[in-house]
Amino acid sequence: MKTWRVLTWCGAPTWASGTRKSSSYQACRPAISRRRHKQMDIQLSIGMASNARTWAIHDGRVKPDGIELIPSPVHASELFWRQLKFGDFDVSEMSFSSLIMAMAAGDDRWVGLPVFTTRRFFHTGVLIRKDSGIQSPEDLKGKRVGVPEYQQTAALWTRGVLQHEFGVEPKDMEFFMERVPEQSHGGSTGFKPPEGVTVNQIPLEKNIGSMMLSGELEATLLYIVDPNLIDRSTADLWSHPDIAPLFPDARAEGIRFYQKTGLYPINHGMVVKREIAEDHPWVLLNLMKAFNRANDICNRERAEHVDYYVETGLVNAEGGAALKQPLVQHGIRANRLVLETAAQYSFEQGLTPKLAKLEDVFAKNTMDQ
């Protein structure tokens, strides 16, 4: 009587004698198939602010194909310092100004993604002391002006608009910076004040808020009180009787600027660690698609809410139709003008030694998006 011995457990069996197949071989085939074809998602950490255009990614409603994201909602001020100094996250929101400065300084750890979740007419956020004699933007010349961080994108935009719209150049003001070098974006990018510009360091025992209230500062380009690891101000300047906005009607000034220039200033983009982009280039467009889906959800939810206001007469039909238009879009094509303007401001203000090219900042396979 012949005996059949299976000499290999899986794969093509080797038989001692005869040609009959073993049931053991058949049983193992499905397990092999599952192991061989099971798709493993890449796990990536992502740090970004929480807002209407990122909520769908934070809460898991939108998941990039082939990627398992581990999201952390982090205040932008703190996030950029952590990324520039420690590289804490695989993917993150990033100051556009600091990104092009870092790249100009030879820091090539990041690849840019043209995703822009926050915008604002930043120059409308300038605050002044009522007793400073400042009645118009031109009156900022010769004044002591606070800034959380000289190189931050919001400050870049504000200085650029003051220069191009009102003739006030950075060298016309004396700046006082709140963030200390070891906990700042500039400390990680090697920031030095541009030629002809005075930037003083605010002592640790003081901050922009306290110096505005004491009269040591006459204005501040912007003001941050949100709790985070690097900003120190806490006073509520907006409601203080001695403080006022430079532009009393910020909405009207924003409309004027937008209608004249067509610019709705972006603040932050997104970045991916270069080593990840090089090892897995497909993640870039997959992330872009995910952010576009999250943006679509934001637009759809806004449109649904608008219908209620139109139906009850709180918003007229024309206003409702306008609110349903996708004003904010990601990608290079929709944002080339605003990105090139920011790069031009950076070069003019001496933050970058040459004009940054978008092709050198953003991933090549996103340039047509």
Same domain assignment for residues 92 and 63:
yes
Same domain assignment for residues 170 and 243:
yes
pLDDT of residue 216: 99
Domains identified in the chain, total number = 3
Burial state string for 220-247 with b = 16 or more CB within 10 A and e = fewer than 16: bbbbbbeeeebbbbebebeeeeebbebb
* Burial status of residue 47 (CB atoms within 10 A of its CB: 0-12, 13-18, 19 or more): buried
Token pair of 242, please?
Answer: 């001695």
Burial state string for 168-181 with b = 16 or more CB within 10 A and e = fewer than 16: bbbebbebbbbbee
Same domain assignment for residues 356 and 228:
no
* Burial status of residue 367 (CB atoms within 10 A of its CB: 0-12, 13-18, 19 or more): middle
Q: Is the pLDDT of residue 113 over 90?
A: yes
Separation between Cα atoms, residue 109 and residue 355, nearest integer Å: 20
Is residue 33 very low, low, confident or very high in pLDDT (cuts 50, 70, 90)? Answer: very low
Helix (H, G, I), strand (E, B) or coil at 17: coil
Separation between Cα atoms, residue 189 and residue 169, nearest integer Å: 23
pLDDT of residue 4: 42
Domain boundary among 240, 261, 282: 261
Helix (H, G, I), strand (E, B) or coil at 111: strand
Q: Across all residues in the chain, what is the average pLDDT?
A: 90
Same domain assignment for residues 176 and 279:
no
Residue 309 lies in a domain: no
Same domain assignment for residues 181 and 138:
yes
Same domain assignment for residues 161 and 174:
yes
Residue 70 belongs to a domain with what CATH number?
A: 3.40.190.10
pLDDT above 90 coverage of the chain, percent:
81
Residue range(s) defining the domain that contains residue 196: 122-261
Q: What CA–CA distances, in Å, run from 249 to 57, 151, 254, 325?
A: 35, 26, 9, 25
**pLDDT tens per residue across span 35-49:** 434 468 999 999 999
Helix (H, G, I), strand (E, B) or coil at 286: helix
Neighbours of 147 (CB within 10 A): 26
Same domain assignment for residues 10 and 57:
no
Q: Is the pTM of this model over 0.85?
A: yes
Closest CA to 352 of 145, 174, 151: 151
Token pair of 45, please?
Answer: 């950490």
Same domain assignment for residues 126 and 160:
yes
Residue 313 lies in a domain: no
Same domain assignment for residues 141 and 207:
yes
